[in-house]
Amino acid sequence: MAVLDREQDIPTLNAVNMVQLHNVTKAYVNQLALSDINLEVKKGEFLFVTGASGSGKSTLLKMLYGEELPTQGEVTVDECNVAQMRGDALSLLRRRIGIVFQDYKLIQQRTVAENVTVVLEAQGYTRKEILRRLEPTLKLVGLRDKANCFPGQLSGGEQQRVGIARAIVSTPPLILADEPTGNLDPDNSWQIIQIFRKLNAFGATVIITTHDEQLVRRCNHRVVQVCNGKLLTKNI
């Protein structure tokens, strides 16, 4: 996999883009994480973000849902300038983003079904609507027969499917997954990626960070690499 050149297209605002980073720098107190990066992700695209540990992949994703703010530059998601969003507006934007974590972040005392629907309950969906969404979501991630299990009764791959189900049950147009296969073996990793590819085929924009170069090579999707705070375009 050869690194070709910098992502240096100047972004232009238009509705075709789901995500746009324009001259974005992110500095933590003692650490420059990202330096003057530009990135456009079109609606319906599937993007892998690769890079060494500590290169800034998670930071990039966190800026998309407002968990971290850029030190300089502009982060636009679904035509919203994320840094300018506050309170309800930020909550509404986040509802349009499904987030999947490497460590699943499941509630151990709740069943699979409850873990998946807890967000819908918090968002005020009716019981009928929650049930209408639960069944096809569990089917899509292959967990229909595990709805009443607790996370501790599931394998790592199954727990990650619950994490994905929770992220997608409200059918968000943007799905962000931070090292979703980081704790999984190659077979499970591949199955998880197949779920994301299916969601992408249904129209979702998907952005996945990963260390797994082999996995990336098996898929024919766009790849960018974070390296020394810069974004490089990669050819697979």
Ligand X SMILES: Nc1ncnc2c1ncn2[C@@H]1O[C@H](COP(=O)(O)OP(=O)(O)OP(=O)(O)O)[C@@H](O)[C@H]1O
Residues contributing to the site for ligand X (CB under 6 A): 28-29, 31, 33, 51, 53-59
Instruction: Return the amino acid letter for 208.
Output: I
Instruction: Give the nearest distance from C-beta 76 to ligand X in angstroms.
Output: 20
Closest to ligand X by CB, 34 or 112: 34
Instruction: Give the nearest distance from C-beta 225 to ligand X in angstroms.
Output: 11
- What's the CA gap between 32 and 5, in Å, rounded? 21
Closest to ligand X by CB, 53 or 108: 53
Closest to ligand X by CB, 67 or 185: 67
Instruction: Give the nearest distance from C-beta 67 to ligand X in angstroms.
Output: 10
Instruction: Give the nearest distance from C-beta 72 to ligand X in angstroms.
Output: 16
Closest to ligand X by CB, 55 or 137: 55
The sheet with strand 80-81 has its strands ordered as: 31-42, 17-28, 72-77, 80-81
Assigned token pair, 216:
């990336």
Instruction: Give the nearest distance from C-beta 58 to ligand X in angstroms.
Output: 3
Closest to ligand X by CB, 57 or 94: 57
Closest to ligand X by CB, 42 or 230: 230
- What's the CA gap between 151 and 116, in Å, rounded? 11
Instruction: Give the nearest distance from C-beta 63 to ligand X in angstroms.
Output: 10
Angular region, 18: left φ>0, alpha ψ -120 to 50, beta rest: alpha
- What's the CA gap between 84 and 152, in Å, rounded? 40
- For β-strands 230-235 and 80-81, DSSP reports them as unpaired
Nearest to 7 by CA among 223, 209, 233, 208: 233
Whether the CB-CB separation of 115 and 106 falls below 8 Å is answered with yes
Q: What CA–CA distances, in Å, run from 43 to 14, 65, 120, 162, 209?
A: 11, 16, 24, 25, 18
